[in-house]
Amino acid sequence: MKIDLRSDTVTRPTPGMLDAICKAEVGDDVFGEDPTINALEERAAKMFGKEAGLFCPSGTMTNQIAINVLTKPGDEVVCDYTSHIYQYEGGGIARNSGVQAKLLTGDRGRISATQVEESINQIFDWLTRTKLVSIENTVNKAGGSFYTLQQMKDLSEVCHRNGLLMHLDGARIFNAVIEAGYTPAQIGPLFNSISVCMSKGLGAPAGSLLLGTKDFIREARRARKVFGGGMRQAGYFAAAGLYALDNHIDRLKEDHRRAKVLAEAINKLPYIKELLPVETNILIFTLHDAIPLDYFMEILNDNGIQCAIFGKQTVRFVTHLDIDDNMIDKTISVLKKIN
Ligand SMILES: *Cc1c(COP(=O)(O)O)cnc(C)c1O
């Protein structure tokens, strides 16, 4: 039994998804002629109460396009220091858009309206122009924590009042939706742009959507082409995305339930220094020095279990579509034997 807990990106399409992929009608999306992509863009935009959508190869690209379109070189984007846009996109904020990041330290990755308001630069020639606020929901590097609707409303209100634009990195927004009980339609109006991944918990092989106004998406389409993300008959991927929206949102609660079962067991292990609170499908934990990370991973590996390294003694597990209850039981029994 192979148990891959490295990421929720490792899922293979289910038979139903593969069937949808095979039956997809496709066309050349650079000409705007792929009916399945058009349907997915429209569907996702409607869900979040936005005017339009843009299908892109990855969530890195949707984030980077949003930053590129919403800023000018020399501006700054305010975000938590754990943010994917800052940590895991190859320095793209600076490299692609000539923009700098102003890093805040939020509550497990969640920045507050007060923090944002205090971070805004005054208008002086020698100060960077504070232009964009980007939040992540759920927060990957902080262990899958999510924002409440009120927290997002407060942030939006501060941005609005101060003329700042707001981006949502919603790679795992449906995990937040399922757990927090708000709807995409409630979130949409709070942001200028929203990135949503089909290839994380939703289980599609690739693809992310960028959502916003028609004008914003027109500019984003240009940027996508410049970034090399104009795909042709990519409706096969979009078909997987549509299938995922129909079939794989509600089941995310299964992933959350399994993550909590794992968390309960991990919290009882004597060699765990800290497990971040588990709110959705991500577990981040740190081992005591007595159990070196290499040794820990070797034992897992010998038992067919894979995990991701998230620091010197820190590990990440992610539950997903291809992890079932048996795999959780097996993982727990292996973890218990380590000493
Ligand atoms: C995975 C992820 C992305 C996008 O990653 P890609 O691999 O480029 O699709 C963006 N933000 C967060 C928080 C993520 O976890």
Q: What is the pLDDT of residues 52-69, one digit of tens each?
A: 999 999 999 999 999 999
Ligand 1: lining residues by beta carbon, under 6 Å: 58-60, 63, 84, 136, 140, 169, 171, 197, 199-200, 208
- Residue among 169, 224, 310, 318 to mutate when testing ligand 1 (max atoms within 8 A of CB): 169
So what's the pLDDT on residue 254?
A: 98
Stretch 212-239: mean pLDDT, rounded? 98
The pLDDT-based confidence of 283 (bands split at 50, 70, 90) is very high
The tokens 């050349």 sit on which residue? 28
The tokens 């262990």 sit on which residue? 143
Each residue of 250-267: pLDDT tens digit?
Answer: 999 999 999 999 999 999
Atom of ligand 1 nearest to the CA of 61: 8
So what's the pLDDT on residue 230?
A: 98
The pLDDT-based confidence of 215 (bands split at 50, 70, 90) is very high
Cα–Cα dist 63/168, whole Å: 8
Distance 264 CA to ligand 1 centre (A): 27
Q: Count the helices and strands in the chain (H runs, E runs).
A: 14, 13
Each residue of 153-178: pLDDT tens digit?
Answer: 999 999 999 999 999 999 999 999 99
Atom of ligand 1 nearest to the CA of 83: 13
Cα–Cα dist 276/141, whole Å: 10
Q: What is the mean pLDDT of the chain?
A: 98
The pLDDT-based confidence of 337 (bands split at 50, 70, 90) is very high
So what's the pLDDT on residue 208?
A: 98
The pLDDT-based confidence of 315 (bands split at 50, 70, 90) is very high
Cα–Cα dist 229/61, whole Å: 8
Q: What are phi and psi of 134, to 5 degrees?
A: -120, 125
Stretch 194-214: mean pLDDT, rounded? 98
Structure-block tokens of residue 328: 């959780």
Domains, the chain, ranges and CATH? 15-247 (3.40.640.10), 251-337 (3.90.1150.10)
So what's the pLDDT on residue 101?
A: 98
Q: Could you tell me the end-to-end alpha-carbon distance of the chain, in angstroms, rounded to an integer? A: 23
Percent of the chain with pLDDT over 70: 100
Each residue of 85-144: pLDDT tens digit?
Answer: 999 999 999 999 999 999 999 999 999 999 999 999 999 999 999 999 999 999 999 999
Say what the pTM is.
0.97
Distance 28 CA to ligand 1 centre (A): 26
Cα–Cα dist 146/163, whole Å: 25
Cα–Cα dist 255/8, whole Å: 10
| Nearest one of 44, 99, 54, 43 to 73, comparing CA atoms | 99
Distance 241 CA to ligand 1 centre (A): 16
Distance 139 CA to ligand 1 centre (A): 10
Atom of ligand 1 nearest to the CA of 199: 9
The pLDDT-based confidence of 212 (bands split at 50, 70, 90) is very high
Stretch 205-223: mean pLDDT, rounded? 98
Structure-block tokens of residue 103: 């890093």
Distance 325 CA to ligand 1 centre (A): 26
So what's the pLDDT on residue 147?
A: 98
